[in-house]
Amino acid sequence: MACHLPGLPLHRDTAQLVFQTTVRVFVSTLLTISVLAADATQPALIPRPQKMELCAETFELTRATRIYADESARGVADYLAGKLRPATALPLRVAHTKEMASANGILLTTKGANTQLGPEGYELAVSSTSVVLRAQTAAGLFYGAQTLLQLLPVEIFAAHHVRKISWTLPGIRIADQPRFAWRGLMLDVSRHFFTKQEVKQLLDEMALLKLNTFHWHLVDDQGWRVEIKKYPKLTQMGAWRSDIGFGLDPKAATAYGADGRYGGFYTPSDIREVVAYAQARHITIVPEIEMPGHSAAALAAYPELSCSGATGRTNTPAGFQAGIYCAGKEETFEFLENILSEIMALFPGKYIHIGGDEVRKDNWSNCEQCQLRIKSEGLKNVPELQSYFIRRMEKFINGKGRTLIGWSEIRTGGLAQNAVVMDWIGGATEAAREGHDVVMTPKESCYFDFYQSEDRGTEPRAIGGFLPLDQVYAFEPIPADLAPQFHPHILGPQANVWTEYIPNFKQVEYMTFPRLSALAEVAWSPQAARNFEDFSRRLQQQNRRLDGLSVNYWRETWAKIGGWTPEQLTTTGTVMEWNVTKNVTNAGPQRVSFSQVEGADGVEIAWAALVEDGREISRDAHPGLAGGKSRDAIYTLDMAAPKPGGHYTLRARVSGMGGLDSRGNVNWNLRPAP
């Protein structure tokens, strides 16, 4: 199919039609991508566009190519040129649309944009003589630019000139817009500190995936990471601890000071620099200042704000004990309001995150001043005191024109009137029904500090849990029990990178990618368009882009050989078989794993055996469990030498548990066993 359609003039008073072959992409004429199976002919774009049509021609970047932009598009045009120049070594001069030639140009404009695609949608049309990118806003243009970059050879992401490459774009027409307005990633810099340069690198990696919200977890028990001018001891004392903590090897850390203490913090100048960097990539930063719990770092500096007056400092490896502010002291609220005033001066975004999770309220139960507060405010109990605390902070934040957001537990004792819930342990449906907006970040699908493989002997230490790539991709942010009229209250999904066991930035990347690619597609692409087989195909190209960007990502070490379904299971046990002939390629130990993908109930594995031409040659008999509390679900089978022309089968005795609703995968390890 040719891409040539009648060109459209950008200025009615211009006699000459600019870009005679420019395409106006009409959404109704586009071919929606097939969702039935992986299609190797489609470009490897992540996240997958809403609608896309290929055309039988190409556009090549040459030394004559120019980028043209109107005033509203100039910032994105400069960004795009800066991304294209290193690998291509082409000049790619950026000029105003008034200077446009008739061919060999890339046009970025907000004129004539399709309003049906919303503020973050875009249209991209590539013909043999021009590339046209249209959107209502600079944000939409920016996301279209990310698609344009991914349409080029993967070498475009190299930091230096790549020779002997034809920098061609396929002829294509795309109409695209995100499914959700909130497409987020949270980084915890309290447990382990990361420099502003590392944070900026993560923002670049987010931008590639069209993510638009960076949740910056700046404060927790283990460290206070933002300088507050009114309270200098917060960083003088609260930003440092005696060692790396969490039982980790100090050599793995990158945040030791010259005096041997671990930690660090961001100055107001650092914050402003990172905020501006994020804004240029159309990413909003949501700062989190924890309260009333997770506050030991602050109380180490200002112990008078605790119920007991104790510092909270200890000699334990983590550096601090869990802390909670006294809710009975007026000084507590004055302190926090002063802090938030400085925070809001640094972060211009709509949302201010106040944590509110895992509040240990024993201190409040035993505190005379907290009990007086309960009586004076007519509260019934300590849980309502937590609600009072959150509501009071919300009133202050709303008074500054901002919106309070907090974790699931801010619903305790009654949810503040205008608060947004970040759901990690439940409550999304109830909050949305009550008219509150919700960000979906359930730990079962969005906690990237969980293991990526059940083969933990080859993985760096993690906090626990198991969150494989396919489970992230299968996540549906809209709760199944939420009526359609409340769906607009689900703002979107967010991934969380908690860093108790992540002491350096390379490990942050390793735990984040490629799972973030999967969540980005969940956040952007239509639910009906999601297809894990096709995503896996496109991910191969995406990972090559990450190679060019020097991103340290997790690589698949297991190949799926089969699985089981609820219909195959019995409580008494069934012997199942899978053909593994193509997997048996070398002598030595062979490893297989069993992992549950869906279901409340797991499966028990009694044994696994390797069969050669109908004869069992190796067996590993030990009880294993695949499910919510998986254990010992990896089996090692000995192989002396593969028999030429031999047929190999994996057998296992599998028993269903409980309701027999388990569905899972059987995987073959691609690495030699240790």
Nearest by Cα to 449 from 532, 492, 507: 507
220 part of the active site: yes
Average confidence score pLDDT of the chain: 90
CATH number at 558-669: 2.60.120
DSSP states of 139-163: HHHHHHHHHHHHHS-GGGG-SS---
pLDDT bucket at 19, cuts 50 / 70 / 90:
very low
Q: Does the pLDDT at position 23 exceed 70?
A: no
Cα dist from 260 to 166, 417, 553, whole Å: 51, 46, 30
State how far the Cα of 75 lies from the Cα of 79, in Å rounded to an integer: 6
Q: So what's the pLDDT on residue 20? A: 37
Give the pLDDT score at 673.
52
Q: What is the mean pLDDT of residues 30-52?
A: 72
The answer, yes or no, to whether residue 257 has pLDDT greater than 50, is: yes
Q: Would you give the distance in Å from CA 184 to the centre of its chain?
A: 6
Question: For residue 227, what are the contacts with CB-CB under 8 A and spacing of at least 6?
Answer: 234, 235, 265, 266, 267, 268
pLDDT at 51: 96
Return the pLDDT at 16: 30
Compute the distance between CA of residue 515 and CA of residue 447 in angstroms, rounded to an integer: 10
pLDDT score for 39:
66
DSSP codes of every residue in 507-525:
HHHHHHTTHHHHHHHHHHS
Over residues 479-503, mean pLDDT: 98
Pick the residue with more confidence: 460 or 353? 353
Grade residue 644 by pLDDT with cuts at 50, 70 and 90: very high
Task: Tell me the pLDDT tens digit for each residue of 388-414.
Answer: 999 999 999 999 999 999 999 999 988
pLDDT at 520 over 70: yes
Catalytically annotated residue among 123, 220, 342, 509: 220
CATH of domain 184-525: 3.20.20.80
Residue type, 647: H
Q: How far apart are CA 190 and CA 265, in angstroms?
A: 9
State the average pLDDT over residues 113-121.
Answer: 97
The phi, psi pair for 66, rounded to 5°, reads -125, 155
The radius of gyration computed from the CA coordinates of the chain, to the nearest angstrom, equals 28
Report pLDDT digits (tens) over 181-238. Answer: 999 999 999 999 999 999 999 999 999 999 999 999 999 999 999 999 999 999 999 9
Please report which confidence band the pLDDT of residue 12 belongs to, taking 50, 70 and 90 as the band edges.
very low
Lowest mean pLDDT among 10-19, 104-113, 351-360, 531-540: 10-19
Q: Which of 192, 282, 294, 489 is catalytic?
A: 294
What is the mean predicted confidence (pLDDT) over 471-499? Answer: 97
pLDDT band at 552; cut points 50, 70, 90: very high
| pLDDT tens per residue, range 123-154 | 999 999 999 999 999 999 999 999 999 999 99
User: What integer is the mean pLDDT of 286-305?
Assistant: 96
pLDDT score recorded for residue 455:
72
Q: Is 489 an active-site residue? A: no
Share of the chain above pLDDT 90, in %: 78
Which is the catalytic residue, given 78, 273, 357, 358?
A: 358
pLDDT at 598: 81
Provide the pLDDT for residue 582: 93
In which band, very low, low, confident or very high, does the pLDDT at 267 lie, cut at 50, 70 and 90?
very high
What is the C-alpha separation between 190 and 300, in angstroms, rounded?
A: 15
Q: Which residue has the higher pLDDT, 322 or 156?
A: 156
Question: What CATH number labels 27-176?
Answer: 3.30.379.10
Give the chain's end-to-end CA distance (angstroms, integer): 53
What's residue 33's pLDDT?
Answer: 42
pLDDT at residue 360 in the model: 86
Domain ranges of the chain: 27-176, 184-525, 558-669
Question: What is the identity of the amino acid at 230?
Answer: K
pLDDT value for 258 = 86
Q: How confident is the model at residue 628 (pLDDT cuts 50, 70, 90)?
A: low
The pLDDT of residue 652:
98
Q: Which of 10-24, 272-286, 594-608 is predicted most confidently?
A: 272-286
- In this prediction, residues 519-523 reach a mean pLDDT of 98
pLDDT of residue 354: 97
| Cβ pair 524, 51 in contact under 8 A | no
- Per the annotation, the verdict on 534 as an active-site residue is no
pLDDT of res. 627: 82
Out of 254-268, 336-350, 510-524, least confident range: 254-268
Q: What pTM value is reported for the model? A: 0.85
